[in-house]
Structure 1
Amino acid sequence: MNQDTNPSEKLNESTKLVDELSIKDNGPRRNRANRTVVNKDSSNVDKTTDNKVSHDNRKTDEKNSVKREYAQERKKRNKIRRDNNPKSEPKTNSSKEQANSSKPENRKVKKKQSNRPLISVVIPTYNEEDSLIELSKQLERVLERESKNNYEVLFIDDGSTDSTFSVMKEINKKNPKFKAIRFRRNYGKSAALSVGFKAAKGAVIITMDADLQDDPMEIPNLMSKIREGYDLVSGWKKKRNDPINKTLPSKFFNYVTAKASGLKLHDFNCGLKAYRSEAAKSLDIYGEMHRYLPVLAHWNGFRITEIPVLHHPRKHGKTKFGASRYVKGFLDLITLLFTSRYLKRPLHFFGTVGTIMGLVGFGIDAWLTVEWIMGDTFLSNRPAALLGIALIIVGVQLVSLGLLGEMIVKNFKRDEEYQIREKL
């Protein structure tokens, strides 16, 4: 390499170096200028967007302020309403609160307490003024314990001629649970039981006599059988404290009734019985049918059972039933058997009898007619011809009677056979 250099060459190198430096300096300056222009444009855009955002924020602030004012005004109105009416409760529109309030556990349901008594005791009475006070005391002790004081006692005064109803009034004043219904005249035990069943409100209906021979202490035993699922519990006076002229006919009567009805009970006519309300109210009692209430309930499909009960000697008065009761009872049994099978279809009975009689009469006359044609006899001399004609006529009449009975039954409505004079 040469140590000596030409001065002109040095000058040229220095100028080249200056030019390169100037080119490097101009490039960044142009970039800075361009950068400043871009920054100015972007700042203008930012300003416009900021203006829009601030405008929107002002609108939302105004809306929120209006809502707050409306909410405050509504709170004031609700407060005024609560002050004016303290019992009213503010309504909530939130769906959550409504959903919670609709849940059973959050809702307070006011249950209506039923006034229906558990036990109703129906007691037909006729001239029993001496025994009612003692009977009411015994019933009160037993029923308060058995039904937890939820009971009623219905005395049915069957047209008593003594002061029986006055005694009932005294009992009612001391204890309003003891009520009374008074007939205008004596209609019989069936009518008394019928009106008692209709008036009774209890879930279980107890019937008993008013002569103190039926023991109220047997009511818990009757109720236990009802709780087992039976619909009617009949008492059985296994050891009767009655004279032999009542016990022997009663045994025969019960035997015949059991055979005829298919219901095996020892004592159909015992006054001490317990019924479910639906069983008692379903019984159609009329005439002297009170003796056959278990049979009627059995034919209606209710469950029947029987338990032995105590039977005390009679303390006051005399029995109201004579020997005629057995004749009436036998006739009532025939009536019961007939009505149970043919009451709603009388044509089945009358039509069957009439058809048989008509066929017999037709057969007799046909036989006589054949003999007359053969020339062996004359019909005018044969009483059998008149008998055959009579049988045909009677048979047609019985069939017609059955058809009339069918039409009557379809439009038949039994009227009440008693009139009430007074109630307590």
Structure 2
Amino acid sequence: MNKNAKDSNSVDISVVIPLYNEEQSLAELSEKIAAAIDNYSFEIIFVDDGSTDSSWEVITDLNQNSSRVRGIRFRRNYGKSDALQTGFEEAVGKYVVTMDADLQDDPQEIPALIEMLKNDYDLVSGWKKKRHDPITKTIPSRFFNAVTRFTTGIRLHDFNCGLKAYRKEVIDSIYLYGEMHRYVPLLAKWKGFDRIGEKVVNHHPRKYGKTKFGISRFLNGFLDLLTLLFVNRYMRQPMHFFGSMGVLFLIVGLGISGWLAYLKIFLNQSLSNRPLLFLGILLILLGVQFFSIGFLGEIYNQGQVKQEKPGIAEKKGL
């Protein structure tokens, strides 16, 4: 069924689930979600992020048995942010819930998250206060969350919790790529959705398969955080950053060069053995370059890198 042909008012909750090689958990997860939110009209959107196991076959069977289950399969692995963004674009529910496919997130938490949204929250994030993960995952996660709280000013304990609930207008206002799924609360806040709540949620040990966690995910996450903070502050006025740096370098470079010129002209001192001369010239060149970058950025401040959209191989129920 085409998304545009579906009456969005007939669906209360869209549950978007990105997944990669989770064939054993999908049927059980689908059943648990249906049992947890059976009092609502809902849809479940599985986004298969290029799985190499039989995850897509399981999704196909689930779709054939229930019109509530919908599926999207990527041609290759793009990452969680792209999977979520694609699911967001297909979701039609008044409220959108995201969760992981490994059965560690508890579907029984969904009704409480929805009730918080009904009480005027724009976004509610789960907090896995008691986690069932190895220490190699929990320690980096705590450090990551502490840094993110400090730099963003958003007082959440668990930015990376996959279990979150949103009003539909929130996900319609943001765009995810890279590792940006970690920063949906920050993106939402920048769009004016600042009623952000948090709820302690149950977290279960992994039942099937193995974790997809890797230390590179946190490195990429930090780099994306720096990108977000920089772009949000300077995207519309790049001269404020590059121009300021350029002026600073120019002032210092010209000051050094002026002092050396005084020594040469009035005191007749040799400058050939003074490394300070090269530092002054370098700073002047850097100042001109930074100022030029800021100027060009102001001219082209609406230019954005167009992100590659995932290649979708198949859809079920869409």
* Structure of higher CA gyration radius: 1
**Pairing 1:288–2:158 present:** no
CA distance in 2, matches of 1:114, 1:137: 23
Equivalent residue for 1:253? 144
CA distance in 2, matches of 1:409, 1:198: 27
CA distance in 2, matches of 1:411, 1:219: 39
Structure 2 unaligned segments of length 5 or more: list them: 1-6
Letter in 2 for 1:393: L
Answer yes or no: is the 8 Å Cα contact 2:22–2:101 preserved in 1. yes
Please point out which of 179, 203, 217 is paired with 2:70. Answer: 179
- Which of structures 1 and 2 has the larger relative contact order (alpha carbons within 8 angstroms, sep 6+)? 2
Letter in 2 for 1:324: S
Letter in 2 for 1:175: S
Letter in 1 for 2:17: I
**Pairing 1:316–2:187 present:** no
Structure 1 unaligned segments of length 5 or more: list them: 1-112
CA distance in 2, matches of 1:396, 1:172: 60
Please point out which of 251, 264, 269 is paired with 1:359. Answer: 251
Letter in 2 for 1:124: P
Q: 1:398: how far off? A: 1.1
Letter in 1 for 2:148: T
CA distance in 1, matches of 2:163, 2:8: 27
Please point out which of 297, 303, 306 is paired with 2:198. Answer: 306
CA distance in 1, matches of 2:186, 2:74: 27
Equivalent residue for 1:236? 127
Q: 1:174: how far off? A: 0.8
Letter in 1 for 2:104: Q
With normalisation by structure 1, the TM-score equals 0.70
Please point out which of 277, 280, 288 is paired with 1:388. Answer: 280
SS, match of residue 172 in structure 1: helix
SS, match of residue 379 in structure 1: coil
For residues 128-147 of structure 1, the aligned pairs below 5 Å read 128-145=22-39, 147=40
Equivalent residue for 1:32? none
Equivalent residue for 1:269? 160
CA distance in 2, matches of 1:412, 1:294: 22
| Deviations, residues 259-281 of structure 1 (Å, cap 9, x unaligned) | 01111111000000000111112
Q: 1:301: how far off? A: 2.0
Judging by fraction of residues, say which structure has more helix. 1
CA distance in 1, matches of 2:257, 2:283: 10
Q: 1:413: how far off? A: 5.9
CA distance in 2, matches of 1:237, 1:183: 29
Equivalent residue for 1:332? 224
Answer yes or no: is the 8 Å Cα contact 2:8–2:93 preserved in 1. no
Q: 1:399: how far off? A: 1.2
With normalisation by structure 2, the TM-score equals 0.93
Please point out which of 6, 16, 20 is paired with 1:126. Answer: 20
CA distance in 1, matches of 2:38, 2:45: 16
Percent of residue pairs identical: 56
| Deviations, residues 96-155 of structure 1 (Å, cap 9, x unaligned) | xxxxxxxxxxxxxxxxx865411111000100110000001111112222x1xx211110
CA distance in 1, matches of 2:274, 2:20: 62
- The CA RMSD over aligned residues, in Å, is 1.5
